[in-house]
Amino acid sequence: MTNHAEIIATEKQDAKGANPPIIWPQKANLLPKEIFVRPDVFEEELARIFYGKEWLMIAHEAEIPNIGDFKTTQVGRVPLLITRDNDGEINVYYNACSHRGVQLETATSGNKLRFRCPYHSWLFNAKGDLIGCPNKPGDFPSDFDKSNYPLDRPRMAIVHGLILVTFNPETPPIEEYLEGYIDKIAQVFGGDGNLRLLGAQKVVFHANWKTFHDNDTYHAGLLHTAFQMLNWSGGSGHQTANARGHRSYVGEVTLPEEVNRLKDPSLIEFKGEASECSSASVRLFPISGMTRHLNTIGIRFANPISVDETEVHYTYFGRAEDDEEMIRHRVRQASNLLGPCGMVSMEDAAVFHRLHTAGTTPGNAVFLKGVTDDHGIPEEFQQSDEAANLPGWEHYRQTMGYPKEQS
């Protein structure tokens, strides 16, 4: 079946079937809509962004707290295996046997210290060493040595427990890549990376990955009914955004004096010092991010599946020092507020889909809130400015090599 993305791609091809170049509008607050629906753009994004000079968030070490715990995931189409070995160290491997390249592990998560490839029974430990491979003397070349066949690894970094990888040797070191944002990540996590996994949900949005990542702060009080009901719109917060496309948000959350719209107001209770009641988030280019709101701590690990599918793992955390009561509270609050069906985020999926469906229409998307000069990108951003997304779009344009339209 032909989907709408393929239709528009075909319509735009010239007589030889070549795709026309993307020409970016001159004004800094405009985006060409076709980048959201063209399959050729998606393929180029995998190469230039997801396999390019970016660090990609793939897990938090609190997801695999015990020796032998593992998780599998993907960056673009590349499958990865994350293990905690018998020394307690975290390892990230390409999830592919070093013999003929079969995907080694298919479970999403589990606990084991040995991984057996089903094809020819090669056996690896959680450190990625090949520890067994059936063969008789004379079967293999005489210089065969198991130590030459470990699992292959991408570059890896850990920041406040957040595990990131890059496939490109030229990606800057993580400290440089996250300059200015390492402390902000700690702030979202409640001080440091000492977290405890409480649960996870997986969702596939029928929308392009950029639609998910571009979700702005302008919409929160307008789209989400619960934000209005609870009067959380506020306005005193602020955002930051840098030239690598990372952005952050910090805002106060004023608890309503009287909650008469919820049968059980404890759902939106804040446990802790009132002065600590706030909302904070960090979104790292290109796609993933983390949020703290009231007592919820969530990380959204996202991955582009195709031009019109985006998979998001919503993971929910508490602090390692939480008592049982606090854990119960966080579990109830987490997915019920900021999960894919949560009170203050459930409308997002519908809007992502509608944005994507109409991405086939001609013209540009426009950003206005917080824009003071439509040819320039502001440096200061208020709580609800959609302009905070513009530095990321300029980073995207440059990474993709799209020229600006000449006047």
Residues binding ligand FES (CB under 6 A): 97, 99-100, 102, 117, 119-120, 122
- d(Cα 70, Cα 87) in Å, to the nearest integer? 14
332 by DSSP, 3-state: which?
A: helix
Nearer to Fe ion, 184 or 224 (CB): 224
DSSP string, 348-369: HHHHHHHHHHGGGSSSEEE--T
Nearer to Fe ion, 348 or 385 (CB): 348
Q: Which residues pair with 292 in a beta bridge?
A: 280, 297
45 lines the binding site for Fe ion (CB under 5 A): no
Report the largest interatomic distance among the alpha carbons of the chain, rounded to a whole angstrom: 80
Please report how close the Cβ of residue 83 comes to ligand FES at its closest, in angstroms: 17
Tell me how far the alpha carbon of residue 340 is from its chain's centroid.
14
Residue 397 has what DSSP assignment?
H
Please report how close the Cβ of residue 348 comes to Fe ion at its closest, in angstroms: 4
177 by DSSP, 3-state: which?
A: helix
- Residue in the shown chain whose Cβ atom is closest to Fe ion: 348
Nearer to Fe ion, 300 or 395 (CB): 300
Nearer to Fe ion, 166 or 296 (CB): 296
* Residue 114 contact among ligand FES, Fe ion, none, beta carbon within 5 to 8 Å by kind: none
* Residue 348 contact among Fe ion, ligand FES, none, beta carbon within 5 to 8 Å by kind: Fe ion
Please report how close the Cβ of residue 100 comes to ligand FES at its closest, in angstroms: 4
Closest CA to 150 of 91, 65, 192, 215: 91
Please report how close the Cβ of residue 119 comes to ligand FES at its closest, in angstroms: 4
- ∠ CA 209-19-43 to the nearest 5 degrees? 35
- d(Cα 181, Cα 171) in Å, to the nearest integer? 17
E strand or H helix at 225: helix 225-229
Please report how close the Cβ of residue 128 comes to ligand FES at its closest, in angstroms: 14
- d(Cα 182, Cα 205) in Å, to the nearest integer? 29
Please report how close the Cβ of residue 280 comes to ligand FES at its closest, in angstroms: 44
Provide the mask over 345-374, with x wherever binding to Fe ion is found by CB under 5 A and - wherever it is not: x--x--------------------------
- Total interface residues for Fe ion by CB under 5 A: 2
Placement of tokens 């427990």 in the chain: 161
Phi, psi of 117 (to 5 degrees): -80, 130
Q: What phi-psi label fits residue 137: left (phi over 0), alpha (psi between -120 and 50 degrees) or beta?
A: beta
Nearer to ligand FES, 95 or 296 (CB): 95
- d(Cα 326, Cα 100) in Å, to the nearest integer? 48
- d(Cα 212, Cα 279) in Å, to the nearest integer? 19
Q: Tokens in use for 308?
A: 């019109």
Nearer to ligand FES, 130 or 387 (CB): 130
* Residue 202 contact among Fe ion, ligand FES, none, beta carbon within 5 to 8 Å by kind: none
Please report how close the Cβ of residue 97 comes to ligand FES at its closest, in angstroms: 3
Nearer to ligand FES, 51 or 122 (CB): 122
Provide the mask over 309-348, with x wherever binding to Fe ion is found by CB under 5 A and - wherever it is not: ------------------------------------x--x
Cis peptide before 286 (omega within 30 of 0): yes
Nearer to Fe ion, 342 or 370 (CB): 342
214 lines the binding site for Fe ion (CB under 5 A): no
385 lines the binding site for Fe ion (CB under 5 A): no
Please report how close the Cβ of residue 121 comes to ligand FES at its closest, in angstroms: 6
> For binding to Fe ion (CB under 5 A), which residues are involved?
345, 348
